[in-house]
Copies of this chain bind each other. A is one copy, B any other.
Amino acid sequence: MWRWRRRTEVPLFVASTVFLGCYAVRILDDDLPQGWRDALLAVTYTTWAMFVADFAVRWRISGRGLSFVRTHLLDAIVVVLPLLRPLRIVEIYDSVQHRHEHARLSLYARVMSYASMTAVLLGFAGALTVYAAERGAPGATIRTFGDSVWWACSTLTTVGYGDVTPVTPEGRTVATFMMAGGLALLGAVTGSFSSWLIQRFALDEDRRPPGGLPGGLG
């Protein structure tokens, strides 16, 4: 199991970057000749097939049933949504550090790395997909990739201006997942801050007696 992972780590990461790149170029470059488009599509599907094969092999090696999917939920998700595949870079970096006996990243650093990278990747992949779905639609307000990125930012932070919004069913389906992602991102930021404050407070408590907030609430 570990040997398989170690050997496939780097090629799979390259593949996931290639996947994202091909997907992006196909959507963003309108003047691409048909031959190139087909080539990019072929590369996209080939890399995707690699992810599926890797997951299948690892499942096989583990010799376990459905419980494998449950304990490798993130891996299963990135098989279905390969655009999020580069997320695994944090895990890889972490395991590399571990192998070299270095200190692993602290919990906050890991949560923040995951949260920021998920936000950026989810935003980029979502903006691409929504832009692809919306650009030809009648009555669409998302007309350029810039609009789509702007919309993605306002969605992931749960601000939601609504000046540009998807109007097609496909765009709105992707948008729903991005809203859920925004909710989770908010949870990660808030949770990290909250637990960091609690830890700081525990350290501070030794030096001073506990006191309440001002006002009549306490």
Contacts and interface: CB of A to CB of B under 8 A. Distances in A.
Interface residues of A, number: 65
A214 B71 contact: yes
Contacts of A200: 107, 212, 218
B192 A199 contact: no
A187 interface: yes
A187 B163 CA distance: 25
Contact of A188 (B175, B193, B195, B198): B193
Q: In this complex, which of A184, A192, A194 has the most chain B Cβ atoms within 10 angstroms of its Cβ?
A: A194
A191 interface: yes
A216 B165 contact: no
A72 interface: yes
B154 A214 contact: no
Given A159-B179, A216-B74, A191 B188 contact: no
Interface stretch (A36-44, A55-63, A203-211): A203-211
A158 interface: yes
A21 interface: no
A183 to B, nearest CB: 5
A165 B161 contact: yes
Given A111-B197, A159-B159, A196-B212, 19 more contacts: A72-B215, A73-B214, A106-B211, A107-B200, A107-B201, A153-B179, A154-B160, A157-B182, A161-B162, A162-B162, A162-B163, A187-B194, A190-B190, A190-B191, A191-B191, A191-B194, A194-B197, A195-B195, A199-B210
